[in-house]
Chains A and B, each alone.
Chain A
């Protein structure tokens, strides 16, 4: 049985993943910024969880790094422990929007890179102090290669992926397992209104892949899995081809 804290469990892939955890009896803490949303998600997980499952809600805002440490401490106390921390929270905007609006760009870069790393740092310290555990963060296939439609978002995710890889190299032997999830296009609120490419995934299916990755301690999880092959091909493409193609 795991004791899991999830930042981003109110919607999208985080919601689906949280459901998978409680459906098999793991304890879950929903970390989020909106009190009402957190409350509703806690209620959902309570109703879905197998009898005996514990679910709690804890305030935590990815825009407020000062909220990270107290949130994880509260989880540890109220769930009598903590061994798995997941972060799916993040922000997205199209390259056009980011080029037009520097303050939006600052926000996306800060949330998806700097603040996510800071949150992971708090989780790292907490888990190491407890003797180890699993840290799972959602990066993106967008971080695997610089691509013209997702330059800035991709750059933030590339930074996050590099950070997570480094952590894994340094701390796995001390018991801290790092899982970097790289979703391809998944139909959630984040991608609403964007044209879905082939192999677009659903959050429920992603959750199945991710929970298996967390159980096995897989360092890099592509979800849906087909994206591993897609990204291998994209990474192999010479620059002169990448300059011409639109993705």
Chain B
């Protein structure tokens, strides 16, 4: 088999082989990858043994209990496939990220979070059982009450502890497939954060977008969105139709995204929300997964691609943390299309799960010559504030910054990994970069 380019969602790539198997137990003991929606190098193989196994053919549901919602399925099943079957019957995943193009294995390995993090935590907190194949070839079951150390290292462990074969978790009953949404325009970052915290007390789902280009008085003006599942008396009685698929047609030239076009986008997005407040019923597709309407939208960033920087600024950093972060960003002139800010709830016991109480900030950044130094500056700042970064998005963080951010939790993770995979069979381009694995 010939080598080809294997890409992360941000288009960072390595040359290697991506093998697929119908039966994952027949695969070699190397890193697994799902739909490749992690932005950076988490799902890319290391350079010395550039082989990854794609799991997406292992996509069977193995048991669904329509009384309790408990589902067991093969790890390559995508949320898209799952919802196409179960959403019309009134079931939804307990946690969804901003795209349906993720596999169950990827959702566990990154311990993904969604708009409901402040009440429901991460995906991994709902998982009851994982069936895994570990480095010595054994197939083991683990969960919160079984082989707990392996479980806590695997949830959020970015594929480094073993291969997830099956996942068991409860689907959640929803009253209707529609969402009641309220949104409001907010004048600056401090007001945004205040309103965000206020809304979280009232709504199970919150998220928002801010303009991170405008400096000064209006810095961080944005749109805050809150939602909950609609009750049957408020919602349309029909099932919402899936939106038509568009495709980003070409690899865009690098100049498409420049400070001016990004500013125009931010300006437009803000003022599109003309009234100060809006409310009403929206369909789940545009509410949860608006980016899924345009296939291959990552081509918008051209050949060099982009990176997403996502960090959490903890409550301990005190008030003004978001403003301080934006100041560092605007000083660097770091232009971003989207800056998403969301509050996080309790920290998971999983050793490397990303969120902790505070606020999460996520920015898409087109890769340019100064990107490394921009990320370095942001990381220095986040470190000072006691925060940390999200591995599923990362391409540029230096190992010393990562280690400093994870000083307390990393030893537990490393100890578990030493026990289950002492030879580091399961390693990625990212683990070579951040954990010091041999290439």
List residues of chain A with CB under 8 Å of any chain B CB: 11-12, 15, 23, 37, 40-41, 43-44, 46-48, 188-189, 192-193, 195
Contact among A40, A47, A188 for B64, CB-based, below 8 A: A47
Contact among A23, A43, A193 for B60, CB-based, below 8 A: A43
Residues of A within 8 A of B20 (CB): 189, 192
Q: List 28 A-B contacts (CB under 8 A).
A: A11-B57, A12-B22, A15-B60, A23-B85, A37-B23, A40-B60, A40-B62, A41-B60, A43-B60, A43-B61, A44-B60, A44-B61, A46-B64, A47-B61, A47-B62, A47-B64, A47-B71, A47-B85, A188-B57, A189-B20, A189-B21, A189-B22, A189-B57, A192-B19, A192-B20, A192-B21, A193-B1, A193-B19
Q: Does B438 contact A (CB under 8 A)?
A: no
A179 to nearest B CB, angstroms?
25
Q: Which residues, 61 to 102 on B, are CB-close (under 8 Å) to A?
A: 61-64, 71, 85
Contact A11 B62 (CB under 8 A): no
Residues of A within 8 A of B61 (CB): 43-44, 47-48
Q: A11-B22, A47-B64, A192-B20 are in contact. List 8 more A-B contacts (CB 8 A).
A: A15-B60, A37-B23, A41-B60, A47-B85, A189-B57, A192-B19, A192-B21, A193-B19
B27 to nearest A CB, angstroms?
11
The 10 closest A-B pairs by CB, nearest first: A44-B60, A47-B61, A47-B64, A189-B22, A193-B1, A11-B22, A43-B62, A44-B61, A48-B85, A40-B60
A189 and B56 alpha carbons, distance in the complex (Å): 11
Dominant SS among interface residues on chain A: helix
Contact A47 B63 (CB under 8 A): yes
A21 to nearest B CB, angstroms?
14
A15 and B64 alpha carbons, distance in the complex (Å): 18
A37 and B60 alpha carbons, distance in the complex (Å): 11
| Total residue contacts A-B, CB cutoff 8 A | 36
A192 and B85 alpha carbons, distance in the complex (Å): 27
Q: Does B2 contact A (CB under 8 A)?
A: yes
B86 closest partner in A (C-beta) = A47
A118 to nearest B CB, angstroms?
26
A50 to nearest B CB, angstroms?
9
A41 and B74 alpha carbons, distance in the complex (Å): 11
Q: Which residues, 175 to 200 on B, are CB-close (under 8 Å) to A?
A: none
A48 and B83 alpha carbons, distance in the complex (Å): 11
Contact B60 A195 (CB under 8 A): no
A6 to nearest B CB, angstroms?
15
Residues of A within 8 A of B64 (CB): 46-47
Residues of B within 8 A of A47 (CB): 61-64, 71, 85
Q: Which residues, 42 to 63 on B, are CB-close (under 8 Å) to A?
A: 57, 60-63
A191 closest partner in B (C-beta) = B20
A90 and B306 alpha carbons, distance in the complex (Å): 44
Residues of B within 8 A of A43 (CB): 60-63
Residues of B within 8 A of A193 (CB): 1, 19
Residues of A within 8 A of B63 (CB): 43, 47
B61 closest partner in A (C-beta) = A47
Residues of A within 8 A of B19 (CB): 192-193
B86 to nearest A CB, angstroms?
8
Contact B2 A195 (CB under 8 A): yes
Contact among B2, B21, B62 for A44, CB-based, below 8 A: B62
A49 closest partner in B (C-beta) = B85
Residue with the greatest number of chain A CB neighbours at <10 A, chosen from B1, B57, B60, B64:
B60
Q: Which residues, 1 to 45 on B, are CB-close (under 8 Å) to A?
A: 1-2, 19-23
Residues of A within 8 A of B21 (CB): 189, 192
A46 and B62 alpha carbons, distance in the complex (Å): 9
A7 to nearest B CB, angstroms?
16
A44 and B19 alpha carbons, distance in the complex (Å): 24
A23 and B85 alpha carbons, distance in the complex (Å): 8
B30 to nearest A CB, angstroms?
16
A162 to nearest B CB, angstroms?
30
A193 and B60 alpha carbons, distance in the complex (Å): 22
Residues of A within 8 A of B1 (CB): 193
Residues of B within 8 A of A44 (CB): 60-62
B104 to nearest A CB, angstroms?
14
A39 and B34 alpha carbons, distance in the complex (Å): 24
A204 and B154 alpha carbons, distance in the complex (Å): 31
A109 and B352 alpha carbons, distance in the complex (Å): 53
A192 and B19 alpha carbons, distance in the complex (Å): 8
A48 and B66 alpha carbons, distance in the complex (Å): 11
Residues of B within 8 A of A48 (CB): 61, 85
A63 to nearest B CB, angstroms?
18
Residues of B within 8 A of A188 (CB): 57
A44 and B71 alpha carbons, distance in the complex (Å): 11
A43 and B77 alpha carbons, distance in the complex (Å): 14
B272 to nearest A CB, angstroms?
36
A195 and B62 alpha carbons, distance in the complex (Å): 32
A5 to nearest B CB, angstroms?
19
A207 and B60 alpha carbons, distance in the complex (Å): 16
Residues of A within 8 A of B57 (CB): 11, 188-189
A47 and B89 alpha carbons, distance in the complex (Å): 11
A36 closest partner in B (C-beta) = B23
A23 and B86 alpha carbons, distance in the complex (Å): 11
Residues of B within 8 A of A41 (CB): 60
A16 and B60 alpha carbons, distance in the complex (Å): 11
A46 and B64 alpha carbons, distance in the complex (Å): 8
A170 and B85 alpha carbons, distance in the complex (Å): 41
B79 to nearest A CB, angstroms?
15
